[in-house]
Chain A
Amino acid sequence: MIWYWRVFCGITQREFLRFIQQRSRFLSALVRPLLWLIVFAAGFRAVLGVSIMPPYGTYITYQVYIAPGLVAMILLFNAMQSALSMVYDREMGSMKLLLTSPAPRSFLLISKLVATALVALPQVYGFLLIALWVEVDPPLIGYLAVLPACLLVALMLGAIGLLISSFIKQLENFAGVMNFVIFPMFFLSSALYPLWKMQEAGPLLYTICAYNPFTYGVELIRFSLYGELSLSNLVIVTGLTLVFTLLATLSFDPQRGQKPKR
């Protein structure tokens, strides 16, 4: 058991060291959601009113509404960044080093997923700290309750990223992921607008949002941030995390994208 713990610690430590070395990554991880919160949400708060809805007990500003969605956005970009680095490592050959470890391949991949999820947490708390400035001030218990929720959502998104990276042959193709995965996933969810608003917009949009895993992640974070447990979202996110992790580990092929030398 201690042997596996050492391997896990090594992988996690490396992810944190890389994160610390890449300071611009931390800055961009914070700037992106803060722009949405401070610029976009401030501009739209007069247009987009949010009526009383759980978990909020009263009328809320638009900034308060989109804060959980922006937390999930941080987790989404972090997961896709990790998936990108997997494709990069595979193309550059560094992945081979990981795979010559005596630890089982599935253990190595899951350790990498957990390590990536852990790296996202300081980014989330950095964002929530700055969000206090625009009166996004959930109860203290919410800061604690959101931790396991964020970890679980980060794992689910990381597994989706790993699954996507398994099907990408070359690094250049990853730009397509931005257009066809990240943006639809974010916009077609409850991150920016409540689902009932989507229902008003049209049944198709609502159905897409309702089947988007990201929606359940956002809602799990939203309820947790206000100290409430949303059992249905928890069950769905846990189930999706298990399914995507299983699919990602089964479809992982370290040789993908590597052509024989001539």
Chain B
Amino acid sequence: MSDKPLYLATSQLSYRYGAKQALHNLDYQIVKGQFNALLGANGAGKSTLFSLLAGLLKPQQGQIICYLNGKPSQLKRPSREYLAQLGVVFQQSTLDPDLSVGQNLLYHAALQGMAPKAAQRSIQVELERLQLFDRLNDPVRTLNGGHKRRVEIARALVHQPQFLMLDEPTVGLDLDTRQQLTAYLHERCQTQGLTVLWTTHLIEEIALEDPVLILHQGQAQHAGTCANLLAQTGANDLKQLLQRTASNSAQEPKL
């Protein structure tokens, strides 16, 4: 159990697609105000966990517990209060390429029930933070991959959520852009207390102090801060730890 305040936790959470068990009895804690990293190879169950926490899937077994006002409450179905504090960046781009950057962000703000004037102010602030305000009226299809990702992050933060979830947001981006995005979100965690869940399989995006969960075949393999995990396991870095996890699993007898 973490000694820091939590934002979300799962208890014995399981999910299966037909015969395929995607998550199995997962206990996981998302630390409030931190950059929480969810690591795992392709097919580890990251996107399923992501969809469950975003309310797109219903848990088949186990619980999701939210500490929205400090008090734990079970999320049987995502409440309006929970969704109002949630920002999401999906792995696939969900921007409308035919609309401008501003129109995409205004649409999202409307879906959050924001008043148009407040939305426009917030859009300006978020785009300026990500140095994209000059692209406000440009159609999304004219942006490059990195800029599109930044627009999606700005969009997810327009309604000032407490919790931001990102599903492999850096896939296909160059190293510089990836570093800029992770640095930006680390700063938002530190300065504004934003809770981030960053799903990835790219270990260089994780800082030593970040809470990390390594998922493997739908189960939690290691959990703790990156520094603690390396100290506990004796691994030189996360890459080695991930390789060990994969090779240990390969040696297990198949049932």
Contacts and interface: CB of A to CB of B under 8 A. Distances in A.
Nearest to A20: B98
Given A100-B56, A100-B86, A261-B47, A21 B98 contact: yes
A260 B54 contact: no
Interface stretch (A8-16, A169-177, A179-187, A243-251): A8-16
Interface in A247-262: 254-255, 259-262
Contact of B112 (A17, A102, A254, A262): A102
A92 interface: yes
Contacts of A98: 111
A10 B22 contact: no
A17 B99 contact: yes
Interface in B131-153: none
In order of increasing CB-CB distance, the 9 nearest A-B pairs are A10-B110, A101-B111, A102-B83, A93-B92, A3-B113, A102-B80, A21-B98, A260-B17, A97-B94
B62 interface: no
A99 B103 contact: no
B13 to A, nearest CB: 16
Interface in B90-104: 90-94, 96, 98-99, 103
A194 B106 CA distance: 47
Interface string B149-171: 00000000000000000000000
Contact of B111 (A7, A255, A261): A7
B88 A97 contact: yes
A103 B42 contact: no
Interface string B49-67: 0010011110000000000
Interface in B74-129: 80-81, 83-84, 86, 88, 90-94, 96, 98-99, 103, 106-116
20 contacts: A3-B113, A6-B114, A6-B116, A10-B109, A10-B111, A14-B103, A18-B99, A21-B99, A92-B92, A92-B94, A93-B90, A93-B93, A97-B94, A98-B111, A100-B55, A100-B86, A101-B111, A259-B17, A260-B48, A262-B42
B103 A103 contact: no
A22 B98 contact: yes
A13 B106 CA distance: 10
B232 to A, nearest CB: 29
Given A10-B110, A10-B111, 8 more contacts: A10-B107, A13-B106, A18-B98, A94-B94, A101-B83, A102-B83, A102-B84, A260-B17
Nearest to A260: B17
Interface string A83-99: 00000000011101111
Which of B42, B57, B84, B96 has the most chain A CB atoms inside 10 A of its CB? B96
